[in-house]
Amino acid sequence: MKLHCTNCNYQFTPKTGKMPLRCPYCDKPGTVEKVKQMQEWIDEFSVNANE
Ligand SMILES: [Zn+2]
């Protein structure tokens, strides 16, 4: 799982596998989001294509 901070754009992978509440770089709370992996884009596309 890869995460990124929407505030400072810092990308990282949490060692615990959990979403941290704060960005480890800028220490802002609530800015950490999951980065969409290429496979997720592909999955989403194939779902839409079947409709
Ligand atoms: Zn940050």
Q: Which domain holds residue 35?
A: 3-49
pLDDT at 51: 65
Domain count, the chain: 1
Residue 26: partners with Cβ closer than 8 Å, 6 or more residues away: 5, 7, 8, 10
Q: How many Å lie between the centroid of ligand 1 and the Cα of residue 51?
A: 38
pLDDT at 26: 97
The torsion angle over the Cα atoms of residues 10, 11, 17 and 19, rounded to 10 degrees, is: 40
pLDDT at 10: 96
pLDDT at 33: 95
- In which residue ranges of the chain is pLDDT below 70? 50-51
pLDDT at 44: 82
Q: How many Å lie between the centroid of ligand 1 and the Cα of residue 30?
A: 10
pLDDT at 47: 77
pLDDT at 9: 96
Q: How many Å lie between the centroid of ligand 1 and the Cα of residue 5?
A: 5
Q: How many Å lie between the centroid of ligand 1 and the Cα of residue 26?
A: 4
